[in-house]
């Protein structure tokens, strides 16, 4: 995999594609004889080969050989930057401990906080870069990265700086989310109100000023922060003009989704225990429901998110890895697509839209990512697949043949690359 600026330009006519340019949740409509014209790294034109305007005729040609082509994938919820790993907790849970019990026993998020604080920025960069490369090799072209394992200004800054560095080093769109209200750091035990005040008055304004924050998230849960504390953080975000999102109703119904919707949240994520009231609030606000089957699976959860009610209400559903060392050590977005279908009963078009158009919307990127859009940087994938349903069907495969990310060719299978 080539990173950053060394990769070759994708400029030219990409022809003989079976083109799925706008994956919709209703159906995956493929255009045979599809063409994408890339100029100066951006999509200049897309449509049927027979309609290709003659002004492009002199551009170099890339023969797609009949490959299925889709927009680059978007992983809209990750905790990619952290120190250490938590395989020991996997064993504890296998022996019967719950996520809450592990957290209360001093494991959980706080143990990753220790490892993240101990790591230097360069160490965090190196470990995160390896994980990012795995996701990119599958066709991810945009990714969200949350902080939340530093829980102190200098360490939250370190995480977010690494996220920005990854974007530059790998030529990938990275949206950063400040998750200072992820867990109560040990030095604030019994002083939750004080910690939240510090998050709102010191950490968030400082990091926003440094240009490190694209959105603000909170873990609203009995083992994390209350509804009232969540609202304080949302108010601070609003005052800075930053959009919000929420880890909502994962373990219990906290009424967090309705609150987040009142603040115009981009997304509510997890939502296994989401109520009818929460769904209605999300519908009205246009908030995306982000489904995280990797965490559901790892925690051996049994409470499935209310998929049919979300579908009926017309709430857009996205699917993401929730990559994190505790509840979802997943580095395959396509496996999440498969799990969203198998575990949550999404249809194949819903699951594919969930990692393209709807995932882009969960990051506020719907005008530039998740579809092949004229005027925007070229982000698309040519697959070694016949039928778009295969994106959901296989697991453990790496079916990406050629990846065009930010207008550059990132070759996966060099025997197939043009």
Q: Tell me which residues touch ligand NIG (CB under 6 A).
A: 79, 108-109, 112, 219, 247, 250, 295, 322, 324-328
Which residues, 6+ apart, have CB-to-CB distance to 54 below 8 Å? none
What letter would DSSP give residue 49?
G
Residue 227 has, within 13 A of its CA and on its CB side, a CA count of 12
Q: Which residues contact 83 (CB under 8 A, 6 or more apart)?
A: 112, 115, 116, 117, 118, 119, 123, 124, 127, 149
Binding partner selected for residue 298 from ligand NIG, Fe ion, none, CB under the kind-specific 5 to 8 Å limit: none
Residue 109 binds: one of ligand NIG, Fe ion, none (C-beta under 5 to 8 A by kind): ligand NIG
Find which of ligand NIG, Fe ion, none residue 406 binds, CB within 5 to 8 Å per kind: none
Q: Which does 326 bind (CB under 5 to 8 A by kind): Fe ion, ligand NIG, none?
A: ligand NIG
Q: Which does 127 bind (CB under 5 to 8 A by kind): ligand NIG, Fe ion, none?
A: none
Q: Give the residue from 168, 173, 177, 178 showing the smallest Cα distance to 200.
A: 178
11 vs 156, which CB is nearer to ligand NIG? 156
Q: What are phi and psi of 63, to 5 degrees?
A: -85, 115
Residue 287's binding partner, choosing from ligand NIG, Fe ion, none, with beta-carbon cut-off 5 to 8 A by kind? none
Number of residues that bind Fe ion (CB under 5 A): 1
**Nearest 5 degrees, angle CA 135-CA 140-CA 144?**
85
Residue 144 is a binding residue for Fe ion (CB under 5 A): no
Write down the least CB distance from residue 328 to ligand NIG, Å: 6
Residue 89 or 322 having the CB closest to Fe ion: 322
Give the pair of three-digit tokens for residue 409: 């060719």
In the complex, residue closest to ligand NIG by CB: 326
- Could you count the other beta carbons within 10 Å of the beta carbon of residue 311? 16
Question: Given the rule CB under 5 A, which of 6-14, 34-42, 280-288, 319-327 is the region that contacts Fe ion?
Answer: 319-327
Q: At what angle do helices 153-170 and 121-136 cross, to 10 degrees?
A: 40
What is the nearest approach in angstroms of Fe ion to the Cβ of residue 270? 7
Choice between 3 and 327, CB closer to ligand NIG: 327
Q: Which is nearer to Fe ion, 322 or 350 (CB)?
A: 322
Q: Strand 380-383 relative to strand 400-405: parallel, antiparallel, unpaired?
A: antiparallel
8-state DSSP, 72: P
Stretch that binds Fe ion, among 29-37, 41-49, 322-330, 403-411 (CB under 5 A): 322-330
Please report, in angstroms and rounded to a whole number, the separation of the first and last CA atoms in the chain. 16
CA gap 338, 395 in Å, rounded: 7
Nearest to 361 by CA among 305, 315, 408: 315
Q: How far is CA 33 from the centre of its chain?
A: 31
Alpha helix segments (H runs only) across 22-98: 87-94
Q: Which is nearer to ligand NIG, 224 or 348 (CB)?
A: 224
Identity of the residue, 299 or 313, whose beta carbon is nearer to Fe ion in the bound complex: 299
Q: Which stretch binds Fe ion (CB under 5 A): 24-32, 91-99, 316-324, 381-389?
A: 316-324
- Least gap, CB of 262 to Fe ion (angstroms): 21
The one of ligand NIG, Fe ion, none whose footprint includes residue 81, by CB under 5 to 8 A per kind, is none
Point out which span in 4-12, 41-49, 256-264, 318-326 binds Fe ion (CB under 5 A).
318-326
Quickly count helices (H) and strands (E) in the chain: 16, 15
Task: Give the interface segment with Fe ion, choosing from 155-163, 317-325, 334-342, 369-377 (CB under 5 A).
Answer: 317-325
Q: Is 340 helix (H, G, I), strand (E, B) or coil?
A: helix
Find which of Fe ion, ligand NIG, none residue 249 binds, CB within 5 to 8 Å per kind. none
The three-class DSSP label of residue 318 is strand
| Stretch 37-56: interaction string toward Fe ion, x if CB under 5 A | --------------------
Q: Which is nearer to Fe ion, 249 or 322 (CB)?
A: 322
Q: Are 244 and 265 in contact (CB under 8 A)?
A: yes
Q: Please give the angle made by the CA atoms of 78, 82 and 87, to the nearest 5 degrees.
A: 95
Residue of minimal Cβ distance to Fe ion: 322
- How many alpha carbons lie under 13 Å from residue 250 in its C-beta half-sphere? 28
Q: Find the shortest distance in angstroms from Cβ 254 to ligand NIG.
A: 12
Q: Please select the residue that binds Fe ion; options are 11, 272, 322, 350, rule is CB under 5 A.
A: 322
What's the closest the beta carbon of residue 323 comes to Fe ion, in angstroms? 9
Min dist. Cβ of residue 199 to ligand NIG (A): 16
Q: 330: helix, coil or strand?
A: coil
Point out which residues bind Fe ion (CB under 5 A).
322
């Amino acid at each position: 995999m080539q990173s950053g600026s060394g990769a070759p330009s994708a400029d030219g006519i990409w022809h003989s594609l079976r083109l799925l340019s706008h994956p919709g949740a209703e159906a995956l409509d493929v255009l045979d004889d599809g063409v994408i014209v890339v100029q100066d790294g951006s999509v200049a034109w897309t449509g049927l080969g027979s309609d290709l305007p003659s002004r492009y005729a002199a551009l170099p040609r890339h023969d797609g050989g009949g490959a299925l082509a889709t927009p680059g994938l978007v992983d809209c919820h990750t905790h990619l930057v952290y120190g250490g790993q938590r395989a020991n907790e996997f064993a504890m849970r296998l022996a019967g401990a719950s996520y809450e019990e592990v957290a209360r026993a001093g494991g959980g998020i706080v143990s990753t906080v220790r490892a993240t604080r101990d790591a230097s920025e360069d160490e965090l960069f190196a470990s995160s870069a390896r994980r990012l490369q795995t996701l990119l090799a599958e066709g991810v072209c945009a990714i969200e990265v949350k902080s939340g394992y530093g829980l102190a200004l200098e360490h939250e800054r370190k995480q977010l700086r690494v996220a920005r560095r990854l974007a530059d080093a790998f030529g990938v769109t990275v949206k950063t989310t400040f998750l200072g209200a992820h867990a109560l750091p040990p030095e604030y035990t019994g002083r939750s109100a004080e910690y939240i005040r510090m998050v709102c008055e010191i950490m968030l304004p400082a990091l926003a000023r440094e240009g490190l924050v694209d959105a603000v998230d909170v873990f609203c849960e009995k083992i994390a922060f209350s509804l009232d504390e969540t609202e304080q953080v949302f108010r601070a975000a609003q005052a800075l003009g930053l959009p919000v999102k929420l880890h909502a109703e994962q373990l219990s119904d906290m009424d967090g989704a309705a609150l987040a919707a009142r603040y115009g949240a981009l997304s509510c994520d997890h939502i296994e225990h989401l109520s009818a009231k929460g769904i209605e609030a999300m519908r009205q606000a246009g908030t995306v429901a982000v489904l995280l089957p990797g965490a559901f699976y790892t925690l051996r959860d049994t409470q499935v998110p209310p998929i049919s009610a979300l579908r009926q209400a017309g709430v857009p559903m996205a699917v993401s890895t929730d990559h994190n060392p505790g509840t979802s050590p997943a580095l395959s977005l396509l496996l999440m697509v498969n799990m969203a279908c198998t575990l949550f009963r999404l249809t194949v078009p819903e699951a594919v839209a969930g990692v393209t158009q709807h995932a882009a919307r969960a990051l506020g990127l719907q005008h530039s990512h998740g579809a092949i859009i004229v005027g925007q940087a070229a982000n698309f994938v040519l697959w070694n697949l016949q039928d778009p349903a295969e994106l959901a069907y296989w697991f453990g495969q790496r079916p990406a043949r050629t990846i065009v990310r930010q207008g550059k060719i990132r070759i996966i299978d060099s025997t197939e690359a043009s």
